[in-house]
Amino acid sequence: MALTEEGIVHVPGMLSRWVRLSMGAKVHYMTSGETGPAVVLLHGGINGSSGTAGWRFMAPYLGACGFRVYAPDLPSYGLTEDPTNHYGYGLGGHVDFVHDFVRQVGVDEFHLAGNSMGCSITAQYVVTHPEQVLSFALIAGRIGDLVSLEDIRRADGRGPKELPHVAFDGTEESMRAVLTSITYDPSKVTDDVVAMRTLAASKHADTYAKNLARVFGPQDGSSDPNELARLTTRGRLDKVTIPGIYLYGRQDVVFRVEAGYLQEDALPNVQFFYPDETGHQGQTDQPDLFNQVFLEFFRDGRVSWKTSVRAGISDRRPPIPSLVETPAGSAAE
């Protein structure tokens, strides 16, 4: 399938949009749906990521089910341009970016979700601007210093696998290898997606490494102490009462599923799921399942028991009745 004139995959039900933020950044975003509650979806951080690449299955589905969906390209990703580097690099700048973006497009309250790096940004945004978040959903990422990167590496048993982004050398062949390494079903790695992500990665070759270093930096203690204080999630994310769920694939290769267990232990108010046959980007590995989970959670406030079982609801602790419709007579009722 040929790419559009902007160099992105054409996805029925998704529209390409642009907005210029007050500080000069020219932001590209994808949207779906015309009415209903707003949903903001944040993509991951591996080379060539974008709103289209990360949410091409979920965004049009939620849009068709009565939501207004926004999937922005973060700075150093997709088609977004931040020529003055106003938002800096890393999680702090990305939180500021998301906040300015939703204000510019006129969204005051919204459901928020993110995968991988987008998961980390979502966690940070929830504790920074809780008054705007109706509910949140996390997919295979990190949650700030509430669970440190060092602890995750220790639980992983081998440290993280050499992260797929280091293998990208500017060619479509290397991009295909990167995507195949994080995807459970290689058939999901299509030619058009490879081409789109290669173009986007090449566009941001000069800033990508700087951004990723800052994303990981706070967890390694290499960032400014003031930024570390701003980004702390300890005693914050584990205390919020905003409804939240977390899906962590059992076949994740960036950080193994044991990293999810650590995060579950640290987040008593968040309902965890561990879907099988799911890698690092579950919403593209298992689109039908993830679409249904998100729809029920954002629409009803709780995930049905049937869907919860399909999604691998955690058996490490009792289900949270306010987030999962547990069957009558279960221990959680």
Per-residue pLDDT of the chain in tens (333 residues, 90 and over written 9): 589 999 999 999 999 999 999 999 999 999 999 999 999 999 999 999 999 999 999 999 999 999 999 999 999 999 999 988 899 878 899 999 999 999 999 999 999 999 999 999 999 999 999 999 999 999 999 999 999 888 888 777 655 444 544 478 999 999 999 999 899 988 889 999 999 999 999 999 988 888 877 777 655 455 678 888 888 999 999 999 999 999 999 999 888 999 999 999 999 999 999 999 999 999 999 999 999 999 999 999 999 999 999 999 999 999 999 999 988 744 444
- Cβ contact 39:66 at 8 Å: no
- The pLDDT score that the predictor gives to residue 223 is 63
Sign of dihedral through CA atoms 259, 261, 264, 265? negative
Encoded tokens for 20: 């210029």
**pTM, full prediction:** 0.94
Q: What are phi and psi of 279, to 5 degrees?
A: -95, -140
- The pLDDT score that the predictor gives to residue 299 is 98
- The pLDDT score that the predictor gives to residue 149 is 80
Encoded tokens for 327: 């069957």
Cα gap 101→133, rounded to integer Å:
14
**Cα 2 to the center of its chain, rounded Å:** 26
Cα gap 28→253, rounded to integer Å:
29
- Cβ contact 129:99 at 8 Å: yes
Find the angle CA(210)-CA(218)-CA(128) to the nearest 5 degrees: 105
Strands in the chain per DSSP E: 15-20, 26-32, 38-42, 68-72, 110-115, 133-139, 244-247, 270-273, 303-304, 324-325
- The pLDDT score that the predictor gives to residue 218 is 55
Cα gap 54→44, rounded to integer Å:
7
3-state secondary structure 36-50: CCEEEEECCCCCCCC
Classify strands 15-20 and 26-32 as parallel, antiparallel or unpaired.
antiparallel
**Paired strand residues for 259:** none
- The pLDDT score that the predictor gives to residue 89 is 79
